[in-house]
Amino acid sequence: MAINILMPALSPTMTEGKLAKWLKAEGDEVKSGDIIAEIETDKATMEVEAVDEGYLAKIVVPEGSEGVAVNAVIGILTATKGEAVTAPAAAAPAPVAAAPAPAAALAPAPTAASPAAAQGERVFASPLAKRIAKQAGIDLASVKGSGPGGRIVKGDLDGAPAHAPVASPAPAAAPAPVAAPAPKPAAPAPAIAAPHKAIPHSTMRKVIARRLTESKQSVPHFYLNLDIELDALLKLRAELNAKSPKEGAGAFKLSVNDLIIKACGVALKRHPGVNASWTDEAIVQYDEVDISVAVAIPDGLITPIVKGADRLGLAAISNAMKDLAARAKAGKLKPEEFQGGGFSISNLGMFGISSFSAIINPPQAAILAVGAGEKRAVVKGDAIVAATVMTATLSVDHRVIDGALGAEFLATLKKLIEEPLSLLL
């Protein structure tokens, strides 16, 4: 008898994903617990474990297929080798872990589920609107349709941004209004004539582009800078690291960043108004202090979450961070390990960056951009002395956090870092 292998949902909100790789070939024997395929979502690659035993009789969705709907039949398992299978078996108990419901009957064509939806949301536009948009270089995804059911019609393209030179004079370089009424559609990238190599967007690249564009365009950012002396923190770090066992379960090696995560955790606990999100109805303050930490990975970045950063000890934060960063780089984070969080930290100090302004990671309301700790001349009393100083820049969503609150938070953070013994409490 044939058993359908269904596209698993890796998170409650996941509706589709990319079938990145088959680890079994047609005809291979499959044991319960075997990894049979890898699924790629927005940010993570997940392994699909077999629940049932048998033989992989047919691969329905070939590897590399994008936009595969959750619960779509991706493969068929049979009890005996060589059992003939022509079409997905009728809805059978879901064989794949985490697949909640039996699949609805699916079109038997193997590729039916993939290419149509692969480009993301379908844009409805009249043929004429499509052609005019193409000729004028207008990105239809950035146009709001006024036709039946939101269909884009010719008239909707009037005033849409186009890269093609048009007869109308360029708008005067007036300063942008402070309170832009609505996010403007993203200007399309110009058609590039120069010799070049086009790198197709990965799913992650698309998500980064979409989310950060949305954030920078719709969230009213403002920025607060503060210099923080690190000498005391560096001294504490050296002392603590010296006490770590060489090896074994209790071993740790604290980084400056680990201490900053802890300091942010404590500061957020004291200023819950910063650990918050804007919604249309209300400002949401989070009960838990979960901090997203930006980690660069080969084709983008990801923000694994240190949960309960206010409560965790320094060694626990350090070890958790090492594990999360390693698995992030391998693309093995689980969705719940990078989805959520109430606050973000981005640290480019290791590259020698003195200071920078980060884009808020929505729906969070603030992100701390941490620069390099460097020896600077500081005035203490009436003397100029050398001190290790880093510049921290807090990007703030003004809808949620006003200037005074942001400043208070930064002042608390500065005090915690400059007098780090309190972090041990």
- Residues tagged active-site: 398
- If one asks whether residue 385 binds another protein (CB under 8 A), the answer comes out as no
Among 28, 89, 139, 154, indicate the residue that binds another protein (CB under 8 A): 154
Calpha distance 229→220 (Å, rounded): 29
226 counts as binding another protein under rule CB under 8 A: no
Does the footprint of another protein cover residue 149 (CB under 8 A)? Answer: no
CB of 133 to another protein, least distance (A): 10
User: Would you mind telling me the total number of residues written for the chain in this entry?
Assistant: 425
Residue 118 C-beta: closest distance to another protein, Å? 23
The amino acid sitting at 211 is R
Alpha carbons 122 and 237: distance in angstroms, whole number: 53
Stretch that binds another protein, among 35-43, 129-137, 199-207, 229-237 (CB under 8 A): 129-137
Distance in Å, CB of 159 to another protein, minimum: 17
Helix (H, G, I), strand (E, B) or coil at 408: helix
- Minimal distance, residue 150 CB to another protein, in Å: 13
Q: Which is nearest to 312 in space by CA: 367, 369, 252, 360?
A: 252
Q: Closer CB to another protein, residue 127 or residue 169? A: 127
What H or E segment, with its residue span, contains residue 217? helix 203-218
Where do we find the tokens 């802890």? 262
Stretch touching another protein by CB under 8 A, among 121-129, 164-172, 374-382, 397-405: 121-129
Contacts of 99 (CB under 8 A, 6+ apart): 6, 7, 8, 9, 70, 71
Tokens 């400043």, residue? 407
Interacting stretch for another protein, rule CB under 8 A, among 127-135, 195-203, 221-229, 406-414?
Answer: 127-135
Q: CA-to-CA distance for 38 and 27, rounded, in angstroms?
A: 18
- Could you tell me which residues are beta bridge partners of residue 73? 6
The verdict on 142 binding another protein (CB under 8 A) reads no
- The residue within the footprint of another protein, chosen from 131, 144, 184, 375 (CB under 8 A), is 131
Q: Of the candidates 10, 129, 160, 224, which one interacts with another protein according to CB under 8 A?
A: 129
Number of residues located near another protein, criterion CB under 8 A = 10
- In angstroms, the CA 37 to CA 45 distance is 10
Q: What is the enclosing helix (H) or strand (E) of 40?
A: strand 35-40
Q: Does 386 bind another protein (CB under 8 A)?
A: no
Find the part of the chain contacting another protein (CB under 8 A) among 120-128, 215-223, 233-241, 371-379. 120-128
| 153 lies in the binding site for another protein (CB under 8 A) | yes
C-beta of 127 vs 159, nearer to another protein? 127
| Nearer residue to another protein within complex by CB, 38 or 156 | 156
Q: Which of 87, 112, 126, 408 binds another protein (CB under 8 A)?
A: 126
Our CA dihedral for 75, 81, 86, 92, rounded to 10 degrees, sits at -50
User: For residue 390, what are the β-bridge partners?
Assistant: 228
Smallest separation, CB 139 to another protein (Å): 18
The only residue of 132, 226, 234, 296 in contact with another protein, by rule CB under 8 A: 132
124 in contact with another protein (CB under 8 A): no
Applying CB under 8 A, does 137 fall inside the site for another protein? Answer: no
Which stretches within 76-126 are classed as H helix?
115-118
**SS3 label, residue 305:** strand
Distance CA 329, CA 178 (A): 39
Binding site for another protein (CB under 8 A): 126-129, 131-132, 135, 146, 153-154
